[in-house]
Amino acid sequence: MAFKEYRLGSAMVGGSLGLSMIITIFLPSFDLRSAVSTKVALEKQLSAGFDVGFGYADPLLLGINRPITVVLEADPKTGAKFDPPVTAYVYQSGVPMPPNVRHPNDLGKGVQDLSEGLGQIGGVSGSNHSVGQKEGVVFTIGLGEFDGEEVSYIENATATRGWVPEATLAAAGDKNTFKISQGKTEFVVQGCWWCHTLLPEQTQDWQVFGAPPYLGDFNGENPTAFGSDRKAPDLLHVGTRNSSREWMLLHFFNPRLVQVNSIMPRFDYLWGEKDAQGNVIDYDKWRAEYLEYASGKRVYPPEVPDYAPDSEIRALIDWVLSLK
């Protein structure tokens, strides 16, 4: 054991791994952290909330404790009409605050200043954080000016306009309520991202799938889950290509209804037990009739049931259609 080459060797292994981590993690972190949130990033994180993967508030990923996105045609407090309508993000009590409300310095220069100043998000983060959580908060996205440039920022509408979660949800009504956060959780849990990406590449495919995202589009998103392996169209802007809820309905129940050659799995199980009218959905019957249709014994495929308002598929479609 007198031979000490291993001492030097071990030190060198540690040293080179350390150096490699300095170059590949520490240095890029300056670039990555200097990203300034775009409006897209604010919309994404306010509608998705703290986490769409595993987290304390929803450890089994059932879609509970999630923010809800609403579109308001009138002010929930004063009743004044809005034209155009205003999108608000409702965080009821117990829902964790969005990442960058907790850590505003990740918003980037300008956005942070305006959000903390005009937007008054300081009240919910920092020391009052738990107070804000208890009563719930409603956020909107404001537009202000910083250094002569237009900047979108997060606005705590509960502080600036006195909107409270329950009244805001009531003012919007079910038709204008979108469960985008739960929908994105479905995207992660159901593994849509093993086939679909959320990242048009910086090559030609933006002509079909739309513009590739900017650096600042990702601030506050967790997990980003933009996928690595594409077997299906990119979805980042799918809502602009196809905004038909009816098409989505058929396509998710059984993609072969609208696209015979599709390899997308059926997501009929996301309908749950009952349809919109509260009737039990008879899947076996549906599948049997569909088989008859597929083998040419029936002219029309069986009717796809309407989903119940609290079904998982509703949340998923809400999210898909929000991808503009």
Partner 1 sequence: MLLKYLTGKNEDIPAGSSAIFFGFSSIFWFVVGTGLGSFNAAKLAFPDFVTGTELFAFGHMRQVHVLAVIVGWISMAFAMTMMYMTPALGNTKLWSEKLGLWTGMMWNIGLSTALLSLWIGITSGREYSDFAWPLDLVILLGVITPLCVNVIMTIAHRRTQGIYITNWFFGSCTFMVGIVLLVGNSPEYFHLTGLSEAYLTWWNAHNLLGLWITPVAAAIAYYTIPKLTGNPLYSHRIGHMHFWSIIVFYSTPASHHIMSSPIPEWLKSFASVEGVLILIPAVAFVANILLTMKGKWTLFVENIETKFSMTGVLLAIPLNMQGGFQQTRSINWYIHGTGWIVAHAHLALLGMSTFLEIAAVYFGLQQMLKRKVYSLALANIHYWFVLIGFCIYWISMTIAGLIQGAGKIYEVPYIDVVIAEHPYMIARWVGGTMVFTGNLVWLFNMWMTARAGTVLPEGRYAHELAYER
Residue ranges binding ligand HEM (CB under 6 A): 194, 228-229, 231
Identify whether the C-beta of residue 50 lies closer than 8 Å to the C-beta of residue 93.
no
Spatial distance between the Cα atoms of 223 and 185, rounded to a whole number of angstroms: 10
Residue nearest to ligand HEC (CB): 192
Listed residue (137, 136, 142, 132) closest to 42, CA to CA: 142
CB 271 → ligand HEC: shortest distance, Å?
Answer: 12
Task: Pick between residue 76 and residue 179 the one whose CB is nearest to partner 1.
Answer: 179
Tokens describing residue 123:
């009240």
Amino acid in the structure at residue 106: D
Tokens describing residue 185:
């959780």
Give the one entry of ligand HEM, ligand HEC, partner 1, none that residue 129 binds, where binding means its C-beta sits below a cut-off of 5 to 8 angstroms depending on kind: none
| DSSP secondary structure of 3-16 | --HHHHHHHHHHHH
CB 195 → ligand HEM: shortest distance, Å?
Answer: 7
Question: Helix 39-48 to helix 180-189 angle, to the nearest 10 degrees?
Answer: 80
| Secondary structure (3-state) at 109 | coil
Task: Pick between residue 158 and residue 197 the one whose CB is nearest to ligand HEM.
Answer: 197
Residue 240: burial class (beta carbons within 10 Å; 0-12, 13-18, 19+): exposed
| Secondary structure (3-state) at 236 | coil
Give the one entry of ligand HEM, partner 1, ligand HEC, none that residue 215 binds, where binding means its C-beta sits below a cut-off of 5 to 8 angstroms depending on kind: partner 1
Task: Pick between residue 67 and residue 76 the one whose CB is nearest to partner 1.
Answer: 67
Task: Pick between residue 203 and residue 228 the one whose CB is nearest to ligand HEM.
Answer: 228
Task: Pick between residue 91 and residue 187 the one whose CB is nearest to ligand HEM.
Answer: 187
Give the one entry of ligand HEC, partner 1, ligand HEM, none that residue 213 binds, where binding means its C-beta sits below a cut-off of 5 to 8 angstroms depending on kind: partner 1
Task: Pick between residue 120 and residue 190 the one whose CB is nearest to ligand HEM.
Answer: 190
Identify whether the C-beta of residue 99 lies closer than 8 Å to the C-beta of residue 222.
yes
Identify whether the C-beta of residue 311 lies closer than 8 Å to the C-beta of residue 271.
yes
CB 229 → ligand HEM: shortest distance, Å?
Answer: 5
Residue nearest to ligand HEM (CB): 229
Contacting residues toward ligand HEC, per CB under 6 A: 187, 190-192, 194-196, 231-233, 235, 238, 241-242, 255, 259, 262-265, 267, 316, 320
CB 187 → partner 1: shortest distance, Å?
Answer: 9
